[in-house]
């Protein structure tokens, strides 16, 4: 028997911390509390899963243990997103779209979504921006698969740390400032449908089956796509330049597709950029945490970093 060092990575603290924070916030603000029993159970369960993986999955082993130890947060993000629907009105009992649209009207002189609806919707642009928007759903799994297979474990840890910050800040803002978005708020004012034979239909399929009503401020799509873009640039500049126009099209597509207001996109970009800056600035100091010794049988494989 020998003792291996149990390393805790920054994304471990973020996952566990987010779950604890949500349980505490629900305990303080959730009324009636019994209405939030499912949410408390969910966050407690996700925290337990993370702790079990941290304790028993050894990244120095190849295969399934390494996969779960390094990538488990990515497997949780969809579930965390879906759960935001249950706490959307933790602080407020209604959506605040009138405030945000009134602010945008004063700044921009009108509603962009209504302006586009009047005369600018064509099948070509609908499909192009829908394709860019749909590409978001492929960005994280594709990039993480590349990092995992090429054993760029430190890049994986940094990327997932920035991603955790991005998503958890975004998900918190969903209930701090609940916005349902233009496709609901302006539904009765639209004259035209956004038509498209393929990519628009794919986007509709995903949105109709997976979107949370109210998860609009900020645009977590734009926030996370920016994180992906920056880390792709750091890994392969050619790939980054290829992804850049997709990122721009995605940002436009969030507004074109009636999913977000302009300021959702602006705030989302700020959160993504801020997450990148925080990880770039502080990651090295975070990783100097004290490790915990754990009893383990003698290993015959070499450490994979």
Residue whose C-alpha is closest to residue 281's, from 167, 168, 172, 165: 165
Average pLDDT over residues 37-42: 95
Predicted confidence band of residue 288 (pLDDT cuts 50, 70, 90)? low
Output phi, psi for 287, to 5 deg: -80, 0
Average pLDDT over residues 18-33: 94
With 80 as the cut, is the pLDDT of residue 303 above it? no
Sequence-distant contacts of 14-21: CB under 8 A, at least 24 apart:
14/73, 14/161, 14/164, 14/165, 14/168, 15/46, 15/47, 15/50, 15/73, 15/76, 15/164, 16/47, 16/50, 16/51, 18/80, 18/164, 18/168, 18/171, 19/43, 19/44, 19/46, 19/47, 19/50, 20/47
**Rounded (10°) CA dihedral 228, 147, 45, 12:** -80
With 50 as the cut, is the pLDDT of residue 11 above it? yes
**Ordered alpha helix ranges (H), 177-219:** 182-185, 199-210
CA distances from residue 242 to 202, 236, 239, 246, 252 in whole angstroms, order as listed: 22, 10, 5, 8, 17
pLDDT in tens, 131-149: 999 999 999 999 999 999 9
Whole-number pLDDT of residue 4: 57
Whole-number pLDDT of residue 90: 92
Higher pLDDT, 299 or 56: 56
80 contacts 171 by C-beta, under 8 angstroms: yes
Output phi, psi for 296, to 5 deg: -155, 145
Burial class of residue 100 (count of CB atoms within 10 Å of its CB; 0-12, 13-18, 19+) = buried
Predicted confidence band of residue 301 (pLDDT cuts 50, 70, 90)? very low
With 60 as the cut, is the pLDDT of residue 283 above it? yes
Predicted confidence band of residue 208 (pLDDT cuts 50, 70, 90)? confident
pLDDT in tens, 52-84: 999 998 887 778 999 999 999 999 999 999 999
Rounded CA separation 118/141 (Å): 37
Predicted confidence band of residue 39 (pLDDT cuts 50, 70, 90)? very high
**4 has which bridge partners?**
294
Rounded CA separation 114/103 (Å): 15
Average pLDDT over residues 114-131: 91
**Which single residue is written with the structure tokens 């989302």?**
268
Domain boundaries, the chain: 2-296
With 90 as the cut, is the pLDDT of residue 215 above it? no
Whole-number pLDDT of residue 302: 34
Residue whose C-alpha is closest to residue 172's, from 92, 84, 260, 267: 84
Count of other CB atoms within 10 angstroms of residue 40: 18
For 178, the token pair is: 């609940």
Higher pLDDT, 23 or 304: 23
Measure the CA angle with vertex 129, ends 247 and 235; round to 5°.
20
Whole-number pLDDT of residue 287: 75
Count of other CB atoms within 10 angstroms of residue 5: 10
% of the chain surpassing 70 pLDDT: 92
178 contacts 93 by C-beta, under 8 angstroms: no
Predicted confidence band of residue 210 (pLDDT cuts 50, 70, 90)? confident
Average pLDDT over residues 223-237: 96
With 50 as the cut, is the pLDDT of residue 295 above it? no
pLDDT in tens, 79-118: 999 999 999 999 999 999 999 999 999 998 888 888 898 8
With 60 as the cut, is the pLDDT of residue 240 above it? yes
DSSP code for 120: T
With 50 as the cut, is the pLDDT of residue 189 above it? yes
């Amino acid at each position: 028997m020998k003792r291996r060092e149990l390393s805790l990575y920054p994304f471990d603290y973020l996952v566990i911390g987010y779950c604890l924070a949500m349980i505490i916030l629900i305990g303080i603000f959730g009324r009636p509390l019994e209405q939030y029993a499912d949410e408390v159970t969910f966050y407690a369960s996700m925290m337990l899963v993370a702790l079990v993986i941290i304790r028993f999955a050894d990244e120095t082993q190849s295969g399934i243990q390494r996969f779960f130890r390094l990538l488990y947060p990515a497997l949780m993000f969809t579930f965390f997103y879906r759960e935001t629907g249950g706490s959307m009105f933790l602080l407020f009992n209604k959506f605040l779209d009138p405030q945000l649209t009134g602010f945008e009207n004063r700044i921009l002189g009108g509603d962009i979504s209504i302006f586009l609806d009047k005369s600018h919707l064509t099948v070509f642009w609908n499909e192009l921006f829908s394709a860019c928007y749909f590409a978001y759903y492929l960005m994280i799994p594709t990039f993480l698969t590349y990092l995992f297979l090429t054993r760029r474990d430190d890049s994986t840890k940094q990327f997932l740390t920035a991603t955790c910050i991005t998503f958890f800040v975004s998900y918190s803002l969903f209930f701090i400032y609940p916005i349902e978005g233009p496709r609901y708020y302006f539904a009765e004012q639209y004259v035209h449908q956004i038509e498209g034979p393929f990519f628009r239909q794919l986007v509709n399929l995903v949105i109709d089956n997976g979107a949370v009503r109210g998860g609009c401020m900020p645009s977590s799509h734009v926030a996370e796509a920016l994180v992906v873009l920056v880390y792709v640039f750091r890994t392969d500049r050619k790939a980054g330049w290829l992804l850049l126009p997709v990122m721009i099209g995605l940002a436009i597509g969030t507004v074109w597709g009636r999913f977000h207001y302009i300021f959702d996109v602006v705030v989302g970009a700020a959160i993504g950029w801020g997450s990148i800056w925080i990880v770039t600035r502080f990651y090295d100091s975070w990783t100097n945490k004290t490790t915990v010794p754990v009893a383990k049988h003698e290993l015959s494989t070499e450490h994979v970093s």
